[in-house]
Amino acid sequence: MIEQSVNTYIQVLTTIDRREAAESIARAAVEERLAACAQIVGPVTSIYRWQGQVETAQEWQLWMKTRQELYGALEQLIRQSHTYQTPEILAVPILGGDHNYLQWLDESLATGQ
């Protein structure tokens, strides 16, 4: 039985310019038990404003499932590995999910953070 409420689980999203970099961050996050799993989506086309100019770039999205209490450590891992001056790092709450999946997620993550 999961003792935590569902809203303690989050998905953390970042985008990065190289698939290899996304894979490196994903692998480190899972190996360090900061994320139970990670999905890499891409390439995607991003259009954004940067330093007063509208830019277009090809990027890869990296989605990682974790608990909210691990967010700080996961954010630090992303920042240490990321090549962007201002990386996109967003935490999105998980509002519901399959009980067995959430139990697996919880068992796959570090404890006592």
Please indicate, yes or no, if residue 1 is contained in any of the structural domains: no
Query: Is residue 19, in this structure, part of any structural domain at all?
Result: yes
Q: Which domain holds residue 26?
A: 6-108
Q: Could you give the C-alpha distances from 101 to 4, 37, 49, 98, 110, in angstroms and in order?
A: 14, 11, 38, 5, 16
Count the domains in the chain.
1
Tens of pLDDT along the chain (113 residues)? 444 556 699 999 999 999 999 999 999 999 999 999 999 999 999 999 999 999 999 999 999 999 999 999 999 999 999 999 999 999 999 999 999 999 999 999 988 55
CATH (domain of 43): 3.30.70.120
**Tokens standing for 42?**
């891409």
Residue 54 lies in a domain: yes
What does the pLDDT read at residue 3?
Answer: 47
